[in-house]
Amino acid sequence: MSERVLVQQLKSLPAGPVSVSGWVETVRDQKKVQFVVLRDETGAVQLVNPATRPSEDAGEQDATALALTETIGALANGTFLTVHGELKHDERVKLGGVEIRIGELEIAAAANPETPIAADSGLDKRMDWRFLDLRQRRNNLIFRVQTTLEHAMRTYWVERDYIEIHSPKLMASPSESNAELFEVPYFEDKTAYLAQSPQFFKQMAQVAGFGKIFEIAPAFRADPSFTSRHATEFTSVDAEISWIDSHEDVARMQEELLQTAIQAVKDKHGDEIQELFGVDVQVPSLPFPRIPLAEARDIVAARGYEIPRTDGDLDPEGERQIAAHVGETYGHQFVFITDYHPEIRAFYHMRDPETGLTKSYDLLFNGVEITTGAQREHRVDVLVEQAKEKGLDPEHLDFYLDFFRFGAPPHGGFGMGLARVLMLLLGESSIREVTYLFRGPTRLAP
Amino acid sequence: MSERVLVQQLKSLPAGPVSVSGWVETVRDQKKVQFVVLRDETGAVQLVNPATRPSEDAGEQDATALALTETIGALANGTFLTVHGELKHDERVKLGGVEIRIGELEIAAAANPETPIAADSGLDKRMDWRFLDLRQRRNNLIFRVQTTLEHAMRTYWVERDYIEIHSPKLMASPSESNAELFEVPYFEDKTAYLAQSPQFFKQMAQVAGFGKIFEIAPAFRADPSFTSRHATEFTSVDAEISWIDSHEDVARMQEELLQTAIQAVKDKHGDEIQELFGVDVQVPSLPFPRIPLAEARDIVAARGYEIPRTDGDLDPEGERQIAAHVGETYGHQFVFITDYHPEIRAFYHMRDPETGLTKSYDLLFNGVEITTGAQREHRVDVLVEQAKEKGLDPEHLDFYLDFFRFGAPPHGGFGMGLARVLMLLLGESSIREVTYLFRGPTRLAP
């Protein structure tokens, strides 16, 4: 293992013997010379072999050279192999200014030459063969960006003494509402439910005195929709903090977190994102603009769009209109929409006693909602009232309500869809493109 | 929010006005003076109030002082509150050498005075009221240790260009065997399964050319056992790497990873772990000892223990015996047991052509298995043969076998139970103690 050199290291190595491992991206089998483009997780390099073809006269030939030429000629794209050869620096070689003259070639596993997809195959076809689709540079970059984004977020939290929790995904009762709930037959004829969010359990950490927590984990929604931003399983980025005065404290943490994480992505991958996605990553300035929902509706109306929803919330086009307004007015890609009416919010959102509106926000990124954040109601009598008002039976919520019966701090937090952030950061059109293996109503495999 | 001071900061602050927030741990309501121990996520501090009792003569009294005394006298343990007061440094105060004279007291949420558990309640009772149980210092420390351990592991990987993946937990077919599988009724009368491990999907990342990946995520086993080290849902720490020569490359990465992570825990929490768990955290030296399974059995036999299992594997007592041997011989808490027979390994473990044994290991920590690691078979024809040999129907594995039909690098990895590592690191007797919310056959709540 120790001998292997990564493609990105080649440039800085002296000419001489070298070993690289990767998969075949293309083979150009010319009469006198053969070229192979070999890709690994860090880049691509040109391999070259002066072809030795069987001669028609009876002259003696180098059997090894003949065999190597035949092997290379028969290489299928996608074959994984290791090459030992001679590194040469040559500015004329477009691919990185180096090439490797093949000495020896070891095939790890040959590919079936009938590749089922091409780079321009449709999304659904590519998802059928996701493990091949992911070999594309663009797709590889998506997950390196994801890694950097997440690590920057976790580092932000860890440096500020947040505790990481792993809350259970199997629950005895629904976490929020009965809609969109996956049931799991459990032991002793019981039924378990898959957590739709870690909501209740991250609040539990607050009454447990953890102070500040985060979790990045799967969440499940039996959501029959086929939009570009919904999935039946998604990665949820969650944080919850105690002793806040309002949702503003949550918003301030989240905007700083996002600024830090996007800065890390720009620093590490900015050039590559520009090259492969044509996107110039913008590090958002602080604070993000804030617009109360009522005002947002007025702005949308003034722009000539009439929101068809009657519940007072924005619809997707309304969100795009607000994003356009924010872009024009503040030059910003993010906006917090605040002051939602309780009717369109969860029962546990705290309400402002003066306005009657919830102490909550949605965060839009390039016109798409990526987060709901809120201060939670921690006074159990108020919480019970609000649940009843929503038609919920407090008895079914008893395990949750218990959390607040033995003391609780004021607290709040947010949940954020990781794939949505990635999609918007890279200017992609669907979360399916930025999810390792998407799950939807008709998509359970591979 | 900005005014709040954490208890651990008090020592370094000058005497004067200060605000702290937390929950009531104890109240000592003496005739002339009242003491409250307030705890937050960083420590505990003594609050003091000179009591103002209603006088029996008709003299005028300070109504505010009377009310404050009454409020303090009625405080239930667990009540969350904020106190504004005067910080005083006083070496005679055992609790941190400081105390706060209460000026004003704001109750966030009063606790029900009938606390359902005590520090010495049984495990099951404590799990019923886990949100109260977690307020104990020991329990809080467990999750701070978890945070440090995980962040050190992820940082180790990120610094070495590993990619973080989030593999799906909903699958169309079992990930390894049909045993211990949770079924989930899915859309269109289909059945989904909860992933028992990310095994297949982390291998998929290798054929996708990701090179090196990691994932920390839930895994699910419909395991009816009630031992101290099994759960129906657990956090699995997984890594997988390409272009290895054997399982030794995986073992070398894992031992370095664990050394780095345990060093981070010792640096940050060593003293507190010593105080609260009576454990002196040992940073393991490299390399960890390696013992082939056959030799391990001989050692156990020579120590006078006869392993009742007939399949050739160690049993829990055998593992403890080997751990004792390793401790005595090498002064080490870890040992890799290697060279398992294919009969007791998964079909996808690669076999050594000379010995016929698998290129795999188990890692024991203080006598308990925490990991299985292996090189995987990446040659699809061999893989199909090995599956058949185990009585598996290759057709059911087709989506997995497809991964290897379009090229694959040699690769391997490990899966590690996070709770087991924490349990053994802290000398606890059950993973239930170190899991945020344990899930077992009879435990789905809270």
Final residue of a domain: which of A109, A141, A169? A109
Specify if A221 maps to a domain.
Answer: yes
How many domains does the structure of chain A reveal? 2
A263 in the same domain as A159: yes
Give the pLDDT of residue B1.
Answer: 43
pLDDT band at residue A1 using 50, 70 and 90 as cut-offs: very low
Q: How far is B49 from chain A (nearest CA, A)?
A: 22
Specify if A125 maps to a domain.
Answer: no
B414 in the same domain as B279: yes
* Cβ pairs A/B, distance under 8 A: 291
Q: Which residues of A touch B180 (CB under 8 A)?
A: none
pLDDT band at residue B395 using 50, 70 and 90 as cut-offs: confident
Candidate from A1, A111, A192 with C-beta closest to B407: A111
**CA angle at residue B347 from B346 to B350, to 5 degrees?**
95
Alpha carbon distance A217, A201 (integer Å): 13
Q: Is B358 on the interface with A (CB under 8 A)?
A: no
The residue ranking higher by pLDDT, B441 or B56, is B441
Q: Which residues of B touch A437 (CB under 8 A)?
A: 167-168, 201, 204
Q: Is the pLDDT of residue B2 over 60?
A: no
Share of chain A above pLDDT 90, in %: 93
Q: B87: domain range?
A: 7-109
A170 in the same domain as A97: no
Within 10 angstroms of residue A247's Cβ, the number of other Cβ atoms is 26
Alpha carbon distance A391, A177 (integer Å): 11
The residue ranking higher by pLDDT, B120 or A271, is A271
Specify if B353 maps to a domain.
Answer: yes
For residue B203, the chain A residue with the least C-alpha distance is: A131
Alpha carbon distance A193, A208 (integer Å): 23
Q: How far is A182 from chain B (nearest CA, A)?
A: 7
A339 in the same domain as A405: yes
Q: How far is B51 from chain A (nearest CA, A)?
A: 24
Instruction: Please compute, for residue B433, the number of CA atoms within 13 A of its CA located in the half-sphere on the CB side.
Output: 21
Least confident span in A185-189, A389-393, B360-364:
A389-393
Token couple for A12: 């800085």
Final residue of a domain: which of B48, B80, B109? B109
Specify if A248 maps to a domain.
Answer: yes
pLDDT band at residue B13 using 50, 70 and 90 as cut-offs: very high
**CA angle at residue B25 from B24 to B27, to 5 degrees?**
80
A115 phi/psi in degrees, rounded to 5? -65, 125
Final residue of a domain: which of A49, A75, A109? A109
A72 in the same domain as A178: no
B149 in the same domain as B63: no
Q: Annotate A55-124 with DSSP letters as a single string.
A: PSSS----HHHHHHHHHHHTPPTT-EEEEEEEEEE-TT-TTTTEEEEEEEEEEEEPBPSS-S--TTS-HH
pLDDT band at residue A2 using 50, 70 and 90 as cut-offs: very low
A335 in the same domain as A228: yes
Specify if B115 maps to a domain.
Answer: no
CA proximity to B359, closest of B255, B203, B248: B248
Residue B109 to residue A409, Cβ atoms within 8 A: yes
Residue A194 to residue B182, Cβ atoms within 8 A: no
- CA distance to A274, B29, B435, per residue, from B279 (Å): 51, 36, 19
Q: Which residues of B touch A140 (CB under 8 A)?
A: 208-210
Alpha carbon distance A232, A218 (integer Å): 10
Alpha carbon distance A401, A379 (integer Å): 10
**CA angle at residue A20 from A17 to A24, to 5 degrees?**
130
Residue ranges of A 62-101 with Cβ closer than 8 A to chain B: 76, 78-80, 82
User: Could you tell me if B144 and A125 are in contact, meaning their C-beta atoms sit under 8 angstroms apart?
Assistant: no
Alpha carbon distance B396, B193 (integer Å): 14
Specify if B72 maps to a domain.
Answer: yes
Q: Is B168 on the interface with A (CB under 8 A)?
A: yes
Residue B108 to residue A162, Cβ atoms within 8 A: no
A137 in the same domain as A257: yes
A327 in the same domain as A223: yes
Candidate from A1, A109, A244 with C-beta closest to B408: A109
User: Could you tell me if A298 and A314 are in contact, meaning their C-beta atoms sit under 8 angstroms apart?
Assistant: no
Token couple for A333: 């890609």
Place of tokens 């099951």: B124
Give the ipTM.
0.97
Specify if B214 maps to a domain.
Answer: yes
Q: Looking at residue A355, which CATH number applies to its domain? A: 3.30.930.10
pLDDT band at residue B46 using 50, 70 and 90 as cut-offs: very high
B224 in the same domain as B355: yes
A419 annotated as belonging to a binding site for a ligand: yes
A386, burial (CB in 10 Å: exposed 0-12, middle 13-18, buried 19+): buried
Best A148, A169, A199, A243 residue to mutate vs chain B (most B CBs within 10 Å): A243
Residue ranges of B 208-227 with Cβ closer than 8 A to chain A: 208-212, 217-218, 220, 222, 224
Candidate from A1, A217, A444 with C-beta closest to B244: A1
pLDDT band at residue B248 using 50, 70 and 90 as cut-offs: very high
Q: Is A164 on the interface with B (CB under 8 A)?
A: yes
**CA angle at residue B402 from B399 to B407, to 5 degrees?**
150
Is the bond preceding A17 in cis, omega lying within 30 degrees of 0?
no
Specify if B39 maps to a domain.
Answer: yes
Q: How far is A277 from chain B (nearest CA, A)?
A: 19
B66, burial (CB in 10 Å: exposed 0-12, middle 13-18, buried 19+): middle
Q: Looking at residue A20, which CATH number applies to its domain? A: 2.40.50.140
Alpha carbon distance A341, A351 (integer Å): 9
A87 in the same domain as A222: no
A328 annotated as belonging to a binding site for a ligand: no
Q: Is B181 on the interface with A (CB under 8 A)?
A: no
Q: Is the pLDDT of residue A119 over 80?
A: no
Alpha carbon distance A343, B106 (integer Å): 30
Give, for A415, the enclosing helix (H) or strand (E): strand A411-417
Give, for B361, the enclosing helix (H) or strand (E): strand B360-365
Give the pLDDT of residue B383.
Answer: 97
| One-letter amino acid of B139 | N
Q: Is B243 on the interface with A (CB under 8 A)?
A: yes
B43 in the same domain as B173: no
Q: How far is B314 from chain A (nearest CA, A)?
A: 29
**Cα B138 from chain centre:** 14
